[in-house]
Amino acid sequence: MKKIKNKKGFTLIELIVVIAILAVLGLLLVPQISGYIKASKDAVGTANAKSCFSQRSLEKANTDAGLNMTVTVDPKCSDIAADGSVTWTDKDNKVYTYKGGEVVLPQ
């Protein structure tokens, strides 16, 4: 009489194949994910540079009008330059410049 063997689980070859497939998928996704991260950081920098311009403009308007109002300005914002530009620096020391309605992204 033959005994029926109860085989459960995966073979070593099956596990190696699955790991290899996951490694290839990981290698394909890393460049895309890093691209998304850079795009999101640029979007944050752009928004913050525009916000800096608004904050500094409000601060200047209050001062010019002789009002004694407190305006909270991000410490990473520069003052309005003579050419009307404002810069914002992120935690990686990349400088975003807002001038004339446009934000210049760092290289």
Contact status, residue 80 vs residue 60, Cβ threshold 8 Å: yes
pTM listed for this prediction: 0.66
Range of the structural domain that residue 71 is part of? 13-104
Asked if residue 58 has pLDDT above 70, the reply is yes
Is residue 56 in some structural domain? yes
Phi and psi of 69, rounded to 5°?
-100, 145
In a domain, 8, yes or no: no
By 3-state DSSP, what share of the chain in percent is helix, strand and coil, each rounded to 5?
A: 50, 10, 40
Domains of the chain: total: 1
The answer to the question of residue 2 being in a domain is no
Please give the DSSP secondary-structure letter assigned to residue 19. H
Is position 67 within any domain? yes
pLDDT score at 14: 93
CB-based burial label for 31 (10 Å; 0-12, 13-18, 19+): exposed
Distance of CA 1 to the CA centre of its chain: 68
pLDDT tens column, 7-32: 778 899 999 999 999 999 999 998 88
Query: Do the domain assignments include residue 1?
Result: no
Query: How far is residue 94's CA from residue 76's CA, in Å, rounded to a whole number?
Result: 11
